[in-house]
C-alpha cells in the first residue's frame, strides 16, 4: 500500500474527539472559545477559513489580515473522555466543559471574539 493510501486509511479509521478549543490573538489578547464534536476538524476549518479570508467572524478575519497568521494560536483545551457507557451525553459534557473554559478564559483575556458553538 502506498504511503498516501495508508495515510488516508488511517485518517478514515481515526475517531474524532469531542472537545473545547481556543483561538488566541497574541497581539490583541482576543480569544474565541468554542466546542465541537470534532475538535481538530473545527480548528482546521477555522484556520482554513482565515487563510482564505472567508471566516464568519469579521473581527477575527480583520485581525488575521492585519496581524498575520503568526499572531494566532489554535489550541485544544479539553476533550470529552471516551466512554463505553451508552448513557454518556456528549453534547451535555461538551456544554459543561465549554462553560467551564469560557469562565476560565474570559477572566484571563483582555477581550474576546464572539463566542459560538461550532456546527461541526
Annotate 43-64 with b (16+ C-beta within 10 A) or e (fewer): bebbbebbeeeebebebbbebb
Mean local confidence (pLDDT), 10-19: 73
Looking at the chain, the whole-number percentage of residues with pLDDT higher than 90 is 58
State the average pLDDT for the chain. 84
Q: Give 31 or 13, the one with higher predicted confidence.
A: 31
β-strands 111-112, 30-36 pairing: parallel
Going from the C-alpha of 87 to that of each of 30, 69, 83, 84, 92, the distances in angstroms are: 37, 41, 9, 9, 11
Nearest to 62 by CA among 30, 39, 36, 86: 30
pLDDT digits (tens, 9 = 90+) for 19-44: 999 999 999 999 999 999 999 999 99
Among 1-5, 44-48, 71-75, 83-87, name the one with the lowest average pLDDT: 83-87
Q: What is the pLDDT of residue 86?
A: 66
Q: What is the pLDDT of residue 84?
A: 60
Contact 90, 37 (CB under 8 A): yes
Report whether pLDDT(62) > 70: yes
Q: How far apart are CA 13 and CA 81, in angstroms?
A: 18
Q: According to CATH, what is the number of the domain 17-112?
A: 3.40.1440.10
Cell of 49: 477559513
For the entire predicted model, the pTM comes to 0.78
Alpha helices in 2-119 (DSSP H): 3-13, 39-52, 58-67, 90-106
Q: Domain extents for the chain?
A: 17-112
Nearest to 63 by CA among 96, 94, 26, 34: 26
Amino acid at each position: 500500500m502506498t504511503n498516501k493510501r495508508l495515510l488516508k486509511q488511517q485518517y478514515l479509521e481515526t475517531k474524532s474527539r469531542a472537545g473545547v478549543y481556543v483561538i488566541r490573538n497574541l497581539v490583541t489578547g482576543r480569544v474565541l472559545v468554542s466546542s465541537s464534536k470534532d475538535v481538530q476538524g473545527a480548528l482546521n476549518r477555522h484556520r482554513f477559513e482565515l487563510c482564505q479570508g472567508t471566516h464568519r467572524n469579521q473581527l477575527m478575519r480583520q485581525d488575521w489580515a492585519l496581524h498575520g497568521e503568526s499572531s494566532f494560536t489554535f489550541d485544544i483545551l479539553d476533550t470529552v473522555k471516551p466512554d463505553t457507557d451508552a448513557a454518556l451525553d456528549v453534547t451535555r459534557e461538551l456544554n459543561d466543559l465549554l462553560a467551564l473554559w469560557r469562565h476560565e478564559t474570559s477572566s484571563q483575556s483582555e477581550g474576546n471574539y464572539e463566542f459560538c458553538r461550532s456546527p461541526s
